[in-house]
Amino acid sequence: GAAGCVATLLHDAAMNPAEVVKQRMQMYNSPYQRVTDCVRAVWRNEGAGAFYRSYTTQLTMNIPFQAIHFMTYEFLQEQLNPHRQYNPGSHVVSGACAGAVAAAATTPLDVCKTLLNTQESLALSSISGHITGMANAFRTVYQVGGLTAYFRGVQARVIYQMPSTAIAWSVYEFFKYILTKRQEERRAGK
C-alpha cells in the first residue's frame, strides 16, 4: 500500500505538467500550435504553479480510481474465476469492467481536474480570477452546469479505460502465469 501511494505521488508529480499541456492543446480553439509554445505561454503568463494547479485533484482522483479498480477486479475474479486459475476470458472481462466502474465513479474528479488544467474561459467568466483548487473547481463546475456537468464525458472516459484496463490485467495475469509455471517447473526439476 505504501509503495503504491509513493508511486502515485511520484508518477503524478512527473506527469501533471504534461497533462496540463495536453489538455490545453486539446481545448476547442486552443491558441497553441506546438507543445513548446504552450509550455512557454503557461510559464510566462501563469507561472510554474499552473503546471501543478490540479496536482492534488490528480492524486485525489487516482487514489480512489485505483482502489475501486482493484476491488472491482478482485470481486469479479471471485465471481468469474473463484479458483484463480489462468483464464484469459475472465481477466479481460474483469479488467474491462473494473476500469469502467472506476472511470465512471471518478469522472467528477476528472472534470474538476480538467477545469483546473485548462482554466476554460466560460467557467472563468462566472468567477473572478483563476480556478485555484479542488473546492473552487467543484463549485465552478456546479455553477456552470449543475449536477450533470460532473459527468460530462463519462462515456468517453469509460470507453477509454475499458480496453486499457482489460489489456493491463490480461498482460499482468499472463506474465504471472508464465513466471509461476517456470518456478514450479524449476522446483519439480530439483
Q: Is 92 left (phi over 0), alpha (psi -120 to 50) or beta?
A: alpha
Give dist(CA 113, CA 153) in Å, integer: 13
pLDDT tens series, the chain, 190 aa: 566 677 778 988 999 999 889 888 887 778 898 999 999 999 999 999 999 987 888 888 888 888 888 889 999 999 999 999 999 999 999 999 999 999 999 999 999 888 887 777 666 666 666 777 788 888 888 988 899 999 999 999 999 999 999 999 999 999 999 999 999 888 887 6
* Closest alpha carbon to 111 in 156, 164, 166: 156
Q: Please state whether the predicted TM-score (pTM) of the whole model is above 0.85.
A: no
Phi, psi angles (nearest 5°) of residue 148: -65, -25
